[in-house]
Structure 1
């Protein structure tokens, strides 16, 4: 079997034309699941896997959202937090990142390749741990809900906008944002000493979010403290500030969460700029 070198990994990678049959693995680059019918590259010793399209991704590109500077493909985020916020979909990421270190502009690899409405790197069909019994199909535009006018992501609980791609299994009426099928397995907040883990299946009938004080529905994913201190939150609240206010209506909540995430990203930019934390020269 032929072996190939990729700049992001020190070992040679083996190419599998039809994936790894029966294995449940995730691409290190885009954090999307690797399905049996998707070619991939692997280093099984390190549990490092790349979709063929992630392996072949350009090292640099010009994107319409940031035409002033070229974006460089980094093998992992350049921030101390170990994650980044995508400037296109506003979701966090921990895998490959197209970034401009001058402007602290970042894009998921799949969002960057959705440039000018071109086909994204996202697979057409995937399986996720939050909905393991059925495959989800990629839709460039989600269908409208007959009585509500819009759909809700069953991973994070926020609305699925009509012009944002989603994954869907129609029989179960299950929807998931493009960014929500590749959420980081772990996370960290500055106001909590322990690492958080992503619960793909929520075991709690009711759980009060320790960030927004709202109720986390059992059919939605959540983040929970790995150390067992009963500290948890909505997926959408990982980057938000703690509030003592009563839960607000869903629309206002989404607006405020969007603003808070942007605010947190700006704070991180300031911290990184002041500390001079840049390592990208290593990958030039």
Structure 2
């Protein structure tokens, strides 16, 4: 039997050993400290404490250049640069507490999975390949996703310019997302609340004689929420939905992304 080799990583003071998750961590509920997703595949494990990294997260370069922010290189941080222990991702507008790519002069932060999203994506959601856009191209600084029919803010999206087709990052994903450990990388809670507000408004309009248009809008929203797994009769459904989403499925879409990722974690 060959000697087990340990390697060091700037994010952790102890040596890390590369193992198969099936060999040493299948029953461990811990998450990857880099992407905050559940462990799978080849992982780096600390034998002294409960610290784990996916092999791909371990291999993330210490600095990258990204077309979203051409002014400065982005530096890989093991912890957020802020006292609260969290950062707000400038790609998806969601909070993060794991690894991030950071520009100190500009105060810019990206989830490592957002930074690795391919610049173009083939998806069964649309006949044409979708390109990654870094902002909504409309005066309203928002868009309506043509997959889930819900609004998106002025953050990254996938779109087909020729057809005017727009999609949230997660909605454009072709593969089912792997469960996230802790807070979701999928639809944020405040967006869920906006969806519920939209339904309530449609119900109110229909109740005041708003007509078929409001009723049709309400039915579309309810149908989309049911497809997403949200229980519209209570808050319990939020847990199952928020426990799902993730951007890692985008990394297998192929084409134009950051080559150092090399696919799914």
Q: What TM-score, normalized by structure 2, do the two folds share?
A: 0.50
TM-align CA RMSD: 4.1
2:82 is equivalent to residue 83 of structure 1: no
Match of 2:16 in 1: 13
How far apart in 1 are the matches of 2:94 and 2:124?
Answer: 18
2:31 is equivalent to residue 34 of structure 1: no
SS in structure 1 of the partner of residue 74 of structure 2: strand
Change (3 A) 1:168 1:69: closer
* 1:45 paired residue among 45, 48, 60: 48
Give 1:2 deviation, angstroms: 1.3
Contact 2:76 / 2:101 at 8 angstroms: preserved in 1? yes
Kindly name which structure, 1 or 2, has the bigger radius of gyration based on alpha carbons. Answer: 2
How far apart in 2 are the matches of 1:39 and 1:89?
Answer: 27
Contact 1:83 / 1:94 at 8 angstroms: preserved in 2? yes
* 1:24 paired residue among 29, 37, 48: 29
How far apart in 2 are the matches of 1:111 and 1:149?
Answer: 21
2:56 is equivalent to residue 59 of structure 1: no
1:184-263 alignment to 2 at 5 Å? 184=183, 217-221=235-239
SS in structure 2 of the partner of residue 53 of structure 1: helix
For structure 1, the 5+ residue unaligned runs are 119-139, 154-159, 186-214, 223-233, 236-284
1:165-215 deviations in Å (ceiling 9; x for gaps): 359999xxxx76x9x935549xxxxxxxxxxxxxxxxxxxxxxxxxxxxx9
1:77-156 alignment to 2 at 5 Å? 77-117=80-120, 141=123, 143=125, 150-151=147-148
SS in structure 2 of the partner of residue 69 of structure 1: strand
Give 1:163 deviation, angstroms: 4.5
Give 1:80 deviation, angstroms: 1.2
Contact 1:64 / 1:115 at 8 angstroms: preserved in 2? no
Q: Which has the higher contact order (CA 8 A, sep 6+)?
A: 2
Contact 1:88 / 1:111 at 8 angstroms: preserved in 2? yes
Q: Which has the higher helix share?
A: 2
Q: Which runs of 4+ in 1 moved over 6 A?
A: 167-170
Give 1:63 deviation, angstroms: 0.6
Give 1:217 deviation, angstroms: 2.4
Match of 1:133 in 2: none
Contact 1:41 / 1:51 at 8 angstroms: preserved in 2? yes
1:47-80 deviations in Å (ceiling 9; x for gaps): 1100001001000000111010000000010111
For structure 2, the 5+ residue unaligned runs are 127-144, 151-157, 159-165, 185-232, 243-265
Give 1:91 deviation, angstroms: 1.1
Match of 1:181 in 2: 180
SS in structure 1 of the partner of residue 101 of structure 2: strand
1:70-102 deviations in Å (ceiling 9; x for gaps): 000000101111101111111110000100010
